[in-house]
Amino acid sequence: MSTPGTTGLVLEEGLSFAQSVKGRIGYSLPPSGVPENDPTAKLPKTLLRKTPATLPEISEVDTVRHFVRLSQQNYCKDVGLFPLGSCTMKYNPRITEEVSKIPGFANAHPLAMPEATQGSLQLIHELQQYLAEISGMDFVTCWPSAGSHGELTGMLMVRAYQTSKGNPRKKVIIPDSAHGTNPASAAICQYEVVTISSNKDGILTAEAVAGVMDEEVAALMVTNPNTLGIFEENIQEICDVVHKKGGLVYCDGANLNALLGIVKLGDAGVDLLHFNLHKTFSTPHGGGGPGAGPVGIKKKLEPFLPNPVIVKENSVYKLENRPQSIGRMKAYFGNFGMLVRAYTYIREFGPEGLRKISEMAVLNANYIRKALMGTYHLAYSRPSLHESVFSDKLQKDHGIKTLDIAKRLMDFGYHPPTIYFPLIVHGSLMIEPTESEPKDSLDQFIEAMKLIAKECEEKPDFVKAAPHTTFRGRLDEVKAAKELKLRWNP
């Protein structure tokens, strides 16, 4: 079978530091052009650096080769399917990169006068309105730098809101299927985390929420669709239960890719929601960031929006600091470059296009789900949206674990799905193909998954030793943690 591969020519490449040769240069600097002024003679000796930083001394050619060789050791979205559940690794349009490099955006200094940066402010203001429309929220702030930073921003707003009602309250309810950042963000705001279980269908019930809901609960943090890919169908009732006791509902928007133009979570009663622009709105993941995590809110939370707030007056954009604001979340403004990419993406698709994204993302996920049902154990039988969770239950008898299946997939030229998450499914394999994969790509992936299932029965030891064809074999993570080596030493 043919699959996009990682088995081509891959060159060994040592650390740049080890290639250093004294006197080699990769830089070119202009002459100072001002009267000679030797800092080492003019500056107090106590202030001067004694030991220079040991940076590599290599030429430009060597630098280029170093980076190109290293780049070739990476699997990336642009070589093939990246079926990472909950992470939404879709194709990244080239135009979004292009526009973020337009000099008017790239060279804009954040401390220039607002008169000189009206374009940036306009783009952010409009993006905030688009995101509000998409989610059914009243306002959006684009300042948070990542989904987790958005959660923190949201929880600080929850705290400010509850405090303004006379009591910051003590607890936050979080389902056991939540992302690890949810409890961590609540904890940084000094909230005690109350964990709640989903039912046998993988969803929350209003009764379960009512069981732990009291007047010391500041908020419920829910992910919808949840981390099993299932729509929390009781969301409206759940919001009612929480609101009745004065709590707020925060929605983790990590899975918004399933709902564009289909449902507005704001209509269901959600009070706060964050967007992972790098997932749904296609900022390349960059090997782990940068991202952007705007937060949408309902009107009652407006006074607490982080400063500064962009307001439009007679077609002029202004920055406003508000007295009840939670304050500033980051110096300057948000991750503006990411905002430009998301804005561009939304403008290219338009309303029908955005809906089509979700339709095809859900169709692709269901196509894989149906095809692999029976070959792999499906954790929950409820209909799912843009992702589905399998487990290693059917392969366990051959001594095969999820990790082995994941590693073997690499030999077929695929990045593995998300594994061992959500924690509520033992040995989980969470598959999310996204809308950008064509049918034949899905068929190839399904074929590879089926072949691996067969191998698990016929040659389990071979599977357990995977990957076999990658640049590096299975890496020893225990050794890395035990014999910590976190930097090169001269």
396 binds another protein (CB under 8 A): no
Q: Is 51 in the site for another protein (CB under 8 A)?
A: yes
208 or 218: CB nearest another protein = 218
Which range, of 118-126, 204-212, 242-250, 451-459, touches another protein by CB under 8 A? Answer: 118-126
DSSP letters, 349-400, are HHHHHHHHHHHHHHHHHHHHHHHHBTTBEES--S--SS-EEEESTTTGGGT-
Contact between 186 and another protein (CB under 8 A)?
yes
Dihedral (CA of 454, 459, 464, 470) sign: negative
Contact between 167 and another protein by CB under 8 A: the answer reads no
DSSP character for 77?
A: T
Applying CB under 8 A, which of residues 11, 116, 311, 451 lies at the interface with another protein?
116
Tell whether residue 151 is a contact of another protein (CB under 8 A): yes
* Contact (Cβ atoms closer than 8 angstroms) between residue 179 and residue 223: yes
Binding status of residue 4 toward another protein by CB under 8 A: no
Q: Is 351 a binder of another protein (CB under 8 A)?
A: yes
Q: How far is CA 290 from the centre of its chain?
A: 9
- Minimum distance between the CB of residue 371 and another protein, rounded to whole angstroms? 7
- Report the alpha-carbon distance of residue 113 to residue 107 in Å, rounded: 14
Asked if 290 interacts with another protein (CB under 8 A), we say yes
**What mask of x and - would describe binding to another protein in positions 370 to 389, judged by CB under 8 A?**
xx----------xxxx----
Among 3, 100, 226, 280, binds another protein (CB under 8 A): 100
Does 284 participate in binding another protein (rule CB under 8 A)?
A: yes
Q: What number of chain residues touch another protein (CB under 8 A)?
A: 204
Q: Is 327 in the site for another protein (CB under 8 A)?
A: yes
Q: How far is the CB of 154 from another protein (least distance, A)?
A: 11
Structure tokens that stand for 212 in this block: 């732990």
Segment 418 to 457, residues that bind another protein, using CB under 8 A: 421, 435-439
Of 13-21, 239-247, 294-302, 456-464, which part binds another protein (CB under 8 A)? 13-21
Indicate whether 105 belongs to the interface with another protein (CB under 8 A).
yes
433, with CB counted inside 10 A (0-12, 13-18, 19+), is buried
> Closer to another protein at the Cβ: 156 or 309?
156
Please state the closest distance from residue 184 (CB atom) to another protein, in A: 4
How many Cα atoms within 13 Å fall on the side-chain side of residue 26? 16
In this chain, which of 416, 422, 427, 433 binds another protein, going by CB under 8 A?
Answer: 416
Is 65 a residue that touches another protein (CB under 8 A)?
no
> Which value, to the nearest 10 degrees, does the dihedral of the CA atoms of residues 394, 397, 398, 404 take?
60
141 near another protein (CB under 8 A): no
Rule CB under 8 A: say whether 67 interacts with another protein: yes
* CB 46, min distance to another protein, A: 5
| Among the listed residues 85, 247, 306, 422, the single contact to another protein using CB under 8 A | 306
Burial of 327 (0-12, 13-18, 19+ CB in 10 A): exposed
Please say which residue, 133 or 216, places its beta carbon nearer to another protein: 133
Which residue's CB is nearer to another protein, number 47 or number 457?
47
Question: CB of 85 within 8 A of CB of 179?
Answer: no
Largest pairwise CA distance in the chain: 79
Sign of the CA dihedral 198, 279, 377, 232? Answer: positive
The number of beta carbons lying within 10 Å of the beta carbon of residue 328 is 12
Residues in 240-279 at the binding interface with another protein, rule: CB under 8 A: 260-264, 267-268
CA proximity to 406, closest of 386, 421, 423, 385: 421
Contacting range for another protein; rule: CB under 8 A; set: 204-212, 328-336, 391-399, 448-456? 328-336
User: Residue 225 or residue 247: which is nearer to another protein going by CB?
Assistant: 225
Least Å distance, CB 260 to another protein, is 8
CB closer to another protein out of 363 and 394: 363
Backbone angles phi, psi at 445, to 5 degrees: -65, -45
Is there binding between residue 46 and another protein (CB under 8 A)? yes
311 contributes a contact to another protein by CB under 8 A: no
Query: Which pair of tokens denotes residue 196?
Result: 């709640």
Contact 218, 172 (CB under 8 A): yes
**Residue 488 interacting with another protein (CB under 8 A):** yes
Is 32 a binder of another protein (CB under 8 A)?
yes
- From the list 460, 36, 87, the residue with the least C-alpha distance to 284 is 87
Q: What angle do CA 172, 174, 175 make, to 5 degrees?
A: 160
Q: By CB under 8 A, is residue 314 in contact with another protein?
A: no
Rg, Å, the chain Cα set: 25
Stretch that binds another protein, among 9-17, 242-250, 392-400, 449-457 (CB under 8 A): 9-17
Residue 18 is classified by DSSP as G
The angle subtended at Cα 464 by Cα 75 and Cα 395, nearest 5°, is: 105
